[in-house]
Structure 1
């Protein structure tokens, strides 16, 4: 049915409903039960026609503007629509909402604020931003990362108690019943994270780069550093639970190994102990099934001291990689984080060993950007506030061993 015919039908349904109500009013009475039923049916049908008209007009506008999402598009669903939304996104970043047509603003789910309001970034922009964040955050390359279309929570099943071993039995035997299996659940819920970046008006106007590329790269850096910090030391309160935060919800103190230090370096002598021995203990505290994917995690300043550590025979435990092989510590590669602990004072955490696929991260794919126009006018800059939602936590503590400084030197 054409839009013109739909509008005519809507007018007739409204007129019929009005006639029912006026007939009762003219007779000085309320509508009967049957009349009310007819009235409600007419109004329900009119509302349905209204929604059909709205959808039809939106599709017509989108087709004129190239914002259609044709599922039969040979190169993937909504290719033209994605490109058009990215064009609209660039127009918004460069000129704000006044630079958007009504159709473009609706495509980006514009807020009510006519200038400087929030817009939801296109999925293409968000995916590229998150990819940049992944590249800047070493832990993300090893962690299990889930992406949610909304900021709902993600329950992670954990094995709190296991069954006993299988039993040798006869051909027809089934073994004894074992009720020891218990599953728990830790919940990851993306928490809001906001960061602000500044871009000069001239750069937005004159740069050969698209505005979305400029904003995306700066947003990615700011969000990556904030997330990495939380992944290392976050307390889990409206943020990620960090690897170096002792918690029964993550990695408890039962997974800590003391490493002899002097407060400024590692100890390796017969009197005070060998740091190498403690690292060997840490390696074999971790079950062998985790060794294939395990990595040491250190701050670069701690790694500088680790490279000096020798065993009781005077051999360095750090080994340089050959060809395409990585450097290793006790045959296990390492990663570095600027937000891992960097001091060697007594009882400080100084590093860890683990299979980081058991650190889970959840991102909400919705990403909002607010354009600040007047706040930075004196410096000829535009401010952009990016709001994302993210969470993370260790989900199986036995996959990790944490190293703690033990200053036992007199």
Structure 2
């Protein structure tokens, strides 16, 4: 299956090799650079751009996104392990019993979890596959800090400031110094659920890999809901997203708030030296955080960023050089998250920071499945739940770019 894009570019939805997808991506970017250079030259000479060139650039932008998605699919399929291979592994009694429960509702052999408590805990292989694939397809989870917990609420102590110190002479008095400031942040684990359905005939098929099927069905749904909450969640029955924090100008930053830099223009980049605001955002972050920093934005914002150059005419955005890798911006990893806002008046569509230190995701151990063959006959429903929480862990580790005058 292919989706054809004009101007000789073609997105292969089922790209068969890493090298093919990578070649297509690099070729598309070279075409993009040539056309955008022509656009900028026309803009400089005539003060206006050609609508046909603008339209062509948008098509190439879409092609670049398609090639990157094809590369990621190839890498994900290649990394996917077989959990059951159509049969239960010898000696794994609980896994065999869980398969029997999912396919036929047999419960007598299960010893972990109870039906009255809301279902049975899935085998470790399936739980690990769900978590691993969530990391693969959930952009924020892939760069954030993740902690496995066994309680409903995880409390993390944070040292906001260290103890006061000072220089003294050999015989000087040593007055008592102020103690360090400690804060505690709570991360409640909220319930996330999915309820895939299957026919009895499908489940009776001996070739069905039960664990893989459940993981496939719930992963996309879980990842989509998670990512939206990690970015914009209000903390009500869901994690608290980093954009839900109180935002202040970086010059007024204080603990408990996220700092932002303004572009100086409402809803747009500055008319001159557009890339300067991105460089300023990089250096708004302390050196200790910049080492592992990433950009986070959606594809529309990324499309606008692709057109920017530095003072020497080099493009700030560079495509991924390997399957499964991300594009870079100013040399830093760029993560695409569709739940980030678009460029608009007063929005904050670009985040930059060390998310491993700046945002914490807490996963409560265990994924539960409750089999329901009665509510939607002839389908069997599988009420699958996991508990996850999240919130800002270090308010100094994430900075935002706000498209506003101030």
SS of residue paired to 1:365: strand
Aligned to 2:161: 161
Q: Does 1:148 align with 2:154?
A: no
Aligned to 2:28: none
Q: Does 1:267 align with 2:265?
A: no
Work out whether residues 259 and 279 of structure 1, in 8 Å CA contact, stay in contact via their aligned partners in 2. no
Work out whether residues 82 and 124 of structure 1, in 8 Å CA contact, stay in contact via their aligned partners in 2. no
Q: Judging changes above 3 Å, is the alpha-carbon distance between structure 1 residues 89 and 321 closer, same or farther for their aligned structure 2 residues?
A: closer
Aligned to 1:39: none
Which structure 2 residues correspond to residues 287-366 of structure 1 after superposition, within 5 A? Answer: 287-311=286-310, 315-320=314-319, 327-341=327-341, 343-358=342-357, 359-366=359-366
**Displacement of 1:407:** 6.8
Aligned to 1:119: 120
SS of residue paired to 2:400: strand
Aligned to 1:286: 285
Residues 94-145 of structure 1 show CA distances to partners (whole Å, capped at 9, x for unaligned) of 111xx23x3x13x1333249xxx62233344323322222222122232221
Work out whether residues 245 and 251 of structure 1, in 8 Å CA contact, stay in contact via their aligned partners in 2. no
Aligned to 2:101: 92
Residues 365-396 of structure 1 show CA distances to partners (whole Å, capped at 9, x for unaligned) of 1322122213322xx43211111111011111
Which structure 2 residues correspond to residues 232-251 of structure 1 after superposition, within 5 A? Answer: 232-247=231-246
**Displacement of 1:269:** 2.3
Aligned to 1:13: none
Which structure 2 residues correspond to residues 25-40 of structure 1 after superposition, within 5 A? Answer: none
Residues 323-360 of structure 1 show CA distances to partners (whole Å, capped at 9, x for unaligned) of 7986422221211112222x222111202001011211
Q: Judging changes above 3 Å, is the alpha-carbon distance between structure 1 residues 322 and 367 closer, same or farther for their aligned structure 2 residues?
A: closer
- In the superposition, the TM-score normalised over structure 1's length comes to 0.68
Work out whether residues 143 and 360 of structure 1, in 8 Å CA contact, stay in contact via their aligned partners in 2. yes
How many residues are paired up?
A: 311
Aligned to 1:62: none
CA distance in 2, matches of 1:393, 1:199: 35
Residues 229-252 of structure 1 show CA distances to partners (whole Å, capped at 9, x for unaligned) of 11111112221111221238x986
- In the superposition, the TM-score normalised over structure 2's length comes to 0.68
**Displacement of 1:220:** 1.9
Which structure 2 residues correspond to residues 385-396 of structure 1 after superposition, within 5 A? Answer: 385-396=383-394
CA distance in 2, matches of 1:207, 1:303: 46
CA distance in 2, matches of 1:335, 1:364: 25
CA distance in 1, matches of 2:121, 2:232: 30
CA distance in 2, matches of 1:196, 1:128: 18
Q: Judging changes above 3 Å, is the alpha-carbon distance between structure 1 residues 309 and 174 closer, same or farther for their aligned structure 2 residues?
A: farther
Work out whether residues 349 and 404 of structure 1, in 8 Å CA contact, stay in contact via their aligned partners in 2. yes
CA distance in 2, matches of 1:237, 1:85: 36
Instruction: Choose 172-181 or 354-363, whichever is displaced more.
Output: 172-181
Work out whether residues 240 and 391 of structure 1, in 8 Å CA contact, stay in contact via their aligned partners in 2. yes
CA distance in 2, matches of 1:247, 1:82: 53
CA distance in 1, matches of 2:202, 2:98: 17
**Displacement of 1:152:** 2.9
Work out whether residues 376 and 382 of structure 1, in 8 Å CA contact, stay in contact via their aligned partners in 2. yes
Residues 151-171 of structure 1 show CA distances to partners (whole Å, capped at 9, x for unaligned) of 33221111233334x544456
Aligned to 1:20: none
Q: Does 1:256 align with 2:267?
A: no
Q: Judging changes above 3 Å, is the alpha-carbon distance between structure 1 residues 363 and 303 closer, same or farther for their aligned structure 2 residues?
A: same
Work out whether residues 157 and 184 of structure 1, in 8 Å CA contact, stay in contact via their aligned partners in 2. yes
SS of residue paired to 1:232: helix
CA distance in 2, matches of 1:82, 1:404: 57
SS of residue paired to 1:374: strand
Which structure 2 residues correspond to residues 198-217 of structure 1 after superposition, within 5 A? Answer: 198-206=197-205, 208-217=207-216
Work out whether residues 373 and 382 of structure 1, in 8 Å CA contact, stay in contact via their aligned partners in 2. yes
SS of residue paired to 2:396: helix
Q: Judging changes above 3 Å, is the alpha-carbon distance between structure 1 residues 173 and 300 closer, same or farther for their aligned structure 2 residues?
A: farther
